[in-house]
Amino acid sequence: MYNGSGGTLVAHKVKVRLSVLISNSASWTRTGLSVSVTLDLIRTACRISGLGAPALLSSYANLWRLHRSYPNNRIRRLPKLESTSPGLTGTPNSGRGADIVVPIYNNFDDTKALLEQLREQASDHRSIILINDCSTDARIAPMLANYCSEVHATVLLENERNLGFVKTCNRGFENAVSDVVILNTDIELPPDAVTRLTACLRSADDIAAAAPFSNSAYGLGVPDLIHHNEQVFGADTQQMDKAFQTLCSFAPIDIPRAVGFCMAMSRKAIDRIGPFSTDFGQGYGEEADFCMRARKIGYRSVIAPDLYVRHHAGKSFGGTWQKKARTGQLLFLHRHPQYIDMMRDYIDQGEARAAIFMALVALSRGMSGREPTVMKAEQFSKSSPTPTDSPVVSVSTPADEVEVRLFLNGETYLFSFAGSDVARKAFERVQIPFPRC
């Protein structure tokens, strides 16, 4: 990090560049950020990168523009199929025997619910490591002690002072010997979730991290990859997960970085590159940094295509999470400027979006009990009103793309494919007819 050393000339250059950035702050407000947030970004960038602050802020702005423009990208490639599923249809023990690490700070109700969900999965794994990070809620400690007395192979660690998410996770890694699965307390786990996620991690030797699809997880969101989502068609977590389980024959989908709300991590990768960097403070950006460090020595990060986990995002940091997220992202981009090109390529290929389309078709079947009706968009617009509880897939072909809209329960989701060949293959995989042009 820049520490202000280097004499009067360097200090003067920083001051000049800072004044230029502040004078241009009005252009930053077009991003929807307030002036105070914009100025905070500038100050943080200067603290992290010094004279490199303008380039760092440019990278931040480029990433923001990528987030805004990505819905216009077309699906160019479908997820690969593999003969052996990474999920429950794989080898019987491929997803068993992980160490589950659960950092805990207050959030009593969600923590209690998560531990009950884990109770059914505990016997499949080596240990559940619960780490109480000096919770101020007096109900937490006795609840954890009681749980450990009831659930086999549960270990309780008590931090003597509040360490924050990063150092608490690292303490969990030190007490684990196998592959690790980190679980935030603000999630809803479907049955066998940890087993499926671990199986995905172990499906190839070069995978360092694996994460599930979710309603709210950067790069993994359903249907919006980047931003927070409400539950599609009003489905609950198990209904969503059941729809994604129809994708169990797909290979893991490559992604630049996984997300730490629910993430499996390879013991080999942890041992080679070390745990989370404590430079990220209490949290935000540490798991992305881990994934990028692992990539530099030949590992990759992936999405488990057959798993969906609901995330009540932001609870870990209360009302301060946005500021911490911005700071973490600036530090991350400072260390890994190549990430933006990687994220652009991930979005351009569209494999995750293709998987989401196919899962939502399966979800529409499951929730309605009916096969989707497929028709051209012009036929749909001229047809009599369709019952809201019956799924409809409309198809239009403007220019060189195929626009597909999925309708159910008054909700509509758009997916754009780069040509009829890609769209037709997606329709074949979900066993619905592709209309003749």
The single-letter DSSP state of residue 130 is: E
CATH class of 99-321: alpha beta
Q: Report residue 342's pLDDT band, with 50, 70 and 90 as the boundaries.
A: very high
For residue 9, is pLDDT > 60? no
Query: How confident is the model over 279-324, as pLDDT tens digits?
Result: 998 778 999 999 999 999 999 999 999 999 999 975 554 445 688 8
Please, which pLDDT band fits residue 94 given cuts at 50, 70 and 90? confident
Residue 10 has pLDDT above 70, yes or no: no
352-369 residue pLDDT tens: 999 999 999 999 999 999
Location of structure tokens 């630049």: 256
Instruction: Give the DSSP letter string of 218-254.
Output: TTTBSSSSSS--PPGGG--HHHHHHHHHTTTTBPPEE
**For the chain, which residues make up each domain, given as ranges?**
7-72, 99-321, 370-429
| CB atoms near residue 27 (< 10 Å) | 10
For 138-192, what is each residue's pLDDT tens digit? 999 999 999 999 998 999 999 999 999 999 999 999 999 999 999 999 999 999 9
Q: Name the nearest CA neighbour of 210 among 165, 179, 164.
A: 179
Is this prediction's pTM over 0.85?
yes
Whether the predicted pLDDT of 268 surpasses 50: yes
Does position 90 have pLDDT exceeding 90, yes or no?
no
Instruction: Inform me whether the pLDDT recorded for 381 exceeds 90.
Output: no
Span 327-336, mean pLDDT?
96
Distances (CA, A) of 206 to 211, 297, 302, 435: 15, 10, 10, 40
